[in-house]
Amino acid sequence: MATKCTDYNFHEIEPHWQGFWEQTQTFRATNDTSKPKYYVLDMFPYPSGAGLHIGHPEGYTGTDIMARYKRAKGFNVLHPIGWDAFGLPAEQHAVKTGTHPASNTQNNIKNFRRQIKALGFSYDWDREVDTTDPKYFRWTQWIFLQLFKRGLAYVDERPVWWCPELRTVLANEEVVDGKSEVGHFPVERRNLRQWVLRITAYADRLLSDLKDVDWPDSTKRMQEAWIGRSDGAEILFDLENKALGQLKIFTTRPDTLFGCTYMVLAPEHPLVDALTTPEQKPAVEAYRKKAAGKSDLERTDLAKDKSGVFSGAYAINPVNGQRVPIWIADYVLMGYGTGAIMAVPAHDERDFEFAQQYSLPIIQVIDSAGAPLPFVGDGKVINSPGYDGLPWPEAKARITAALGERGVGKATVNYKLRDWLFSRQRYWGEPFPIVWVSEADYATARAARPADFPSTPVTYTEGGVKHFALPLPSVALPLELPNVKSYLPSGTGESPLANETPWLEIWLNVQTGAAVPASEPKPAGGEWVRGRRETNTMPQWAGSCWYYLRFLDPKNDAALASPEALKYWGTPDLYVGGAEHAVLHLLYARFWHKVLFDLGVVPTHEPFKKLFHQGIILGEDGEKMSKSRGNVVNPDTIIQSHGTDTLRLYLMFLGPLEAMKPWNPRGIEGVHRFLQKVWRELIGADGAVNAKIAAGAQEPAELTKALHETIKKVGDDIEALRFNTAISQMMIFVNALQKAPAVSLDTASAFVRVLAPFAPHIAEELWARLGQTPSVQHAPWPVFDPARLASQEVKLVFQVNGKFRGDQLVPVGLTQEQAVEIAKANQRIIPHLQDKSIKRVIYVQNKILNIVVA
Ligand code: ANZ
């Protein structure tokens, strides 16, 4: 049923059809395996207190157009949404106000849901998920248990980034330029016991499987760089003091061994103490202290001055027996390779600077054809007896092989990728399903459920006592968060959960995972052990690592999703979200997916076949939108003033989806007028169908041709996510519609179907008024007749005031008006027409369009 309004009253139309969709559950996805499936996914939002940002509806509109289009093309479409709702801001709010983070989170979710619903997206709201819902995070904990029992989760006392202001540990990825990514607070190094996930075990697959996904090249390259594979060798240098054994280094350039003039150990290297001569001891000690306060970034920054100290000791170069002094310097990191290097100042920039600083010898071993040192380019080996004249890669292979035969070297692969630091000292995250117990109790529990345990126990020692990590059985999940009095972290590195005695110290039933506070007597019956729960929580990345799987079967209590749902829906066919997730979320999710694949839980080895990043929308001033600049656009305001359909069209017409582009209020008026024109062409002043539209009306051939071109172009453009050019084509069609004295009902309704994915509310209304049965969402995509298409395209040159401003492929035989319309929609031309009025147009069909403006 259409609304009663006579003019284009979006205030009435939009809520009306949103209500209709909700009531009739238009977008509910059923597991109808008779149809081909299409799964289109948005990166689900973090429900912040600030509400939706304009970047959200940008990507969401793109996926929504795709979802609606694919439904019309006969696919069974899954298009879900949910909330990535654990995280720091809700907890900081709790610290400030004392309200439980859960209630703050629920309020934010409510607001986000309202805003998203007002945008008319065709989500299946029955499948909404929330990462903080115990029914959801039960499976996050379950996945952790699978990682745990496969030996992919362990604890480690390690130097981590500690942020005093946030009072938490941050992952490498959360530290940018020595500051926390959230809040930009300074961070420092601290040794803390942490949970770590062995993502490095998957480094090779994470790298090589990038070839199997259709992702933006830049994102693939970022992942490659992050994983950072280096092919080189580990080489053993004898120490001059034979009693101390050998020194192992990692190098990517064994071919430069003859140019090694000194060695460097990281200040934390375990051999430093033993190596250092008594005379050098005070200097080395002082240097180590100083280095401890610096970040890796500061230490390896090429721009920083190099510093170091001589250890007093010497190593022996395995290729020529030369004595090489051993230095200690912080530009060598303990966390990479072996924490020790052979320095080749002639061919490495950092070594070169260091050698100059401390007057160490420099020996050139690669021919630089006269280029100055350091020379890091390609060349032939020189000054290397036995290898001279060889191209360096060949010398690398031969020297590595020769060292291998003598047992002092072997080819090695190194990765920049570090294991994933997976614990946070916070309240508002998933609790670990782990209880720390004694060795004897661990043995008891392990005997009861051997399948749940890793082959090597996970342990840590504190105050001489060894603690063993006992996994809860999966039947005991979810392990919920206790209520606490204070959300403030302790500041010693322990989370607020550490203050929670009834929850924390327990008697645990080893079979069922049932718990009783330790303050009570040990329960009778069954096997009970005394333990302390893990107090860290999981990082925010955990819940978003697998949510795309939960949407397949969100209410399943027996599994994260049923095998049937996993088989039918598989993984998203299209995943759209911000490029800022290129290495974090997108790498972690790939890791978990591969583990689930190895476990036989999912049938595919990659989670996201096709990925697309929407571009950032800048403020009107061309700057990044930010509260402080006051250039933030709130979607609610536009919906109020111009309606959702206008906002949706506008966001898509602003430019290519992937492009970074500034907000432009004038453009809103433009697309709004377009929708008004669509209304006027289809609906008469009385609110009934425009009198020129009739079943079987004899419309001009031009119009029929324009329709078929539009059906084809819009369909092709949607498939390729080129929504802006699809809209230009619809504008061309509507101009033809305007000129036509008569229009067949078939043509009018076909156009409404083409418009529907973009501006679904007005399309429903028009569809109903054209006498069709709702909903247009159930109507198939119109079929174009290739015979009616323009046979070819030509390149049309655009000039403004006689100056070349761009060109574009267009169908042959465009009228002058059509050509002008295309020019007005062309991103390269728009700036030249802005704020100007068109005085004259000179048009040579199929060749050139010159627009004269003043
Ligand atoms: C000798 C050499 C000669 C090197 C030469 C480079 C050029 P990527 O490609 O990043 O893996 N290196 C090894 N371990 C290091 C550590 N813990 N901290 C700082 N630097 C380290 O770089 C590997 C190269 O970085 C290695 O190869 C080593 O220097 C240095 F003409 O060895 B090379």
Residue 26's pLDDT band (cuts 50, 70, 90) = very high
Ligand 1 mean position, distance from CA 376 (Å): 12
CATH architecture type of domain 668-788 = Orthogonal Bundle (1.10)
556: left (phi over 0), alpha (psi -120 to 50) or beta: beta
Ligand 1 mean position, distance from CA 240 (Å): 23
Alpha-carbon span 835 to 665, nearest angstrom: 13
The residues, ordered by sequence, that sit 6+ positions from 45 with a Cβ below 8 Å of its Cβ are 52, 56, 83, 84, 112
| The dihedral sign for the CA sequence 473, 478, 484, 488 | positive
* Token representation of residue 509: 């039933």
For residue 774, give the amino acid letter: P
Residues 111/51, Cβ–Cβ less than 8 Å:
yes
Compute the average pLDDT of residues 829-845.
Answer: 91
Question: What phi and psi values does residue 656 have, to the nearest 5 degrees?
Answer: -55, 145
Residue nearest to atom 10 of ligand 1 (CA): 230
CB neighbours (10 Å) of residue 52?
Answer: 21
Fold of 12-130+541-618: Rossmann fold (3.40.50)
Alpha-carbon span 717 to 727, nearest angstrom: 9
- Of all atoms in ligand 1, which is nearest to the CA of residue 337? 14
* Token representation of residue 280: 């050098």
Please work out whether the CB of residue 332 comes within 6 Å of at least one atom of ligand 1. yes
Residue nearest to atom 33 of ligand 1 (CA): 251
Compute the average pLDDT of residues 56-69.
Answer: 97
Please work out whether the CB of residue 342 comes within 6 Å of at least one atom of ligand 1. yes
Of 120, 128, 117, 124, give the one whose Cα is nearest residue 37: 124
Ligand 1 mean position, distance from CA 249 (Å): 9
The CA angle 281-283-289, to the nearest 5 degrees, is 100
Alpha-carbon span 764 to 774, nearest angstrom: 7
pLDDT digits (tens, 9 = 90+) for 296-321: 666 766 667 789 999 999 999 999 99
Alpha-carbon span 60 to 502, nearest angstrom: 44
Looking at the predicted structure, is the pLDDT value of residue 168 above 90? Answer: no
Please work out whether the CB of residue 341 comes within 6 Å of at least one atom of ligand 1. yes
Please work out whether the CB of residue 344 comes within 6 Å of at least one atom of ligand 1. yes
Ligand 1 mean position, distance from CA 673 (Å): 62
User: How many C-alpha atoms does 14 have within 13 Å on its Cβ side?
Assistant: 20
Please work out whether the CB of residue 265 comes within 6 Å of at least one atom of ligand 1. no
Mean pLDDT across the chain, nearest whole number? 94
Ligand 1 mean position, distance from CA 230 (Å): 9
Of 683, 694, 697, give the one whose Cα is nearest residue 2: 683
CATH architecture type of domain 229-415 = Alpha-Beta Complex (3.90)
- Of all atoms in ligand 1, which is nearest to the CA of residue 344? 3
- Beta strand 693-694 with 153-163 is unpaired
Question: What phi and psi values does residue 835 have, to the nearest 5 degrees?
Answer: 60, 15
229-415 and 668-788: identical CATH topology: no
Question: What's the CATH code, domain 791-853?
Answer: 3.10.20.590
pLDDT digits (tens, 9 = 90+) for 201-233: 999 999 999 999 999 999 999 999 999 999 999
pLDDT digits (tens, 9 = 90+) for 645-665: 999 999 999 999 999 999 998
Residue nearest to atom 14 of ligand 1 (CA): 337
* Token representation of residue 549: 């799987």
Ligand 1 mean position, distance from CA 372 (Å): 20
Alpha-carbon span 847 to 799, nearest angstrom: 11
Provide the CA 595 distance to its chain's centre, in angstroms. 19
Look at the pTM and tell me if it is higher than 0.75: yes
* Token representation of residue 727: 């809209």
Residue nearest to atom 29 of ligand 1 (CA): 251
Ligand 1 mean position, distance from CA 25 (Å): 60
Ligand 1 mean position, distance from CA 257 (Å): 12
Please work out whether the CB of residue 299 comes within 6 Å of at least one atom of ligand 1. no
Please work out whether the CB of residue 58 comes within 6 Å of at least one atom of ligand 1. no
Of 17, 4, 73, give the one whose Cα is nearest residue 645: 17
Of 672, 667, 579, give the one whose Cα is nearest residue 620: 667
Domain map (residue ranges) of the chain:
12-130+541-618, 153-197+423-495, 229-415, 668-788, 791-853
Residues 124/82, Cβ–Cβ less than 8 Å:
no
- Of all atoms in ligand 1, which is nearest to the CA of residue 414? 11
Looking at the predicted structure, is the pLDDT value of residue 432 above 90? Answer: yes
Judge residue 31's burial from the number of C-beta atoms within 10 Å of its C-beta, 0-12 exposed, 13-18 middle, 19 or more buried: middle
Ligand 1 mean position, distance from CA 291 (Å): 19
Compute the average pLDDT of residues 406-425.
Answer: 94
Place of tokens 């080893």: 510
Compute the average pLDDT of residues 615-630.
Answer: 90
Please work out whether the CB of residue 366 comes within 6 Å of at least one atom of ligand 1. no
Residue nearest to atom 28 of ligand 1 (CA): 251
Alpha-carbon span 673 to 654, nearest angstrom: 15
The residues, ordered by sequence, that sit 6+ positions from 65 with a Cβ below 8 Å of its Cβ are 652, 718, 723, 757, 758
* Token representation of residue 431: 């609790």
Ligand 1 mean position, distance from CA 585 (Å): 29
Residue 630's pLDDT band (cuts 50, 70, 90) = confident
- Of all atoms in ligand 1, which is nearest to the CA of residue 260? 1
Please work out whether the CB of residue 333 comes within 6 Å of at least one atom of ligand 1. yes
First-to-last alpha carbon distance for the chain, in angstroms, is 48
Please work out whether the CB of residue 256 comes within 6 Å of at least one atom of ligand 1. yes
Residue nearest to atom 2 of ligand 1 (CA): 253
Alpha-carbon span 294 to 298, nearest angstrom: 6
Ligand 1 mean position, distance from CA 186 (Å): 28
pLDDT recorded at residue 491:
65
Of 770, 735, 777, 772, give the one whose Cα is nearest residue 756: 777
Residues 659/615, Cβ–Cβ less than 8 Å:
yes
Ligand 1 mean position, distance from CA 250 (Å): 7
pLDDT digits (tens, 9 = 90+) for 564-609: 999 999 999 999 999 999 999 999 999 999 999 999 999 999 999 9
pLDDT digits (tens, 9 = 90+) for 508-535: 999 999 999 999 999 999 999 999 999 9
pLDDT recorded at residue 612:
98
Residue 415 to residues 220, 226, 231, Cα–Cα distance (Å): 16, 9, 9
Residue nearest to atom 27 of ligand 1 (CA): 251
